[in-house]
Amino acid sequence: MKRIFRKNQIIITVLAVMIAVAGYLNYSGRL
């Protein structure tokens, strides 16, 4: 159970970073 949770946590973190980068690029594009 812990292993799966840790794996999911990494996936969620990666997705969050990708969304943050995409939002940053979109914001920079408007400027």
Domain-by-domain residue ranges, the chain? 1-31
pLDDT at 2 over 70: yes
Spatial distance between the Cα atoms of 8 and 17, rounded to a whole number of angstroms: 14
DSSP H/E element including 28: helix 2-30
The DSSP output letter for 14 is H
CA pair distance 6, 2, nearest whole angstrom: 6
User: Per the structure block, which two tokens stand in for 17?
Assistant: 């970073």
Compare 30 and 14 and report the one with higher pLDDT. Answer: 14
Question: Mean per-residue pLDDT for 5-29?
Answer: 93
User: Which pTM does this prediction carry?
Assistant: 0.63
Summary mean pLDDT of the chain: 90
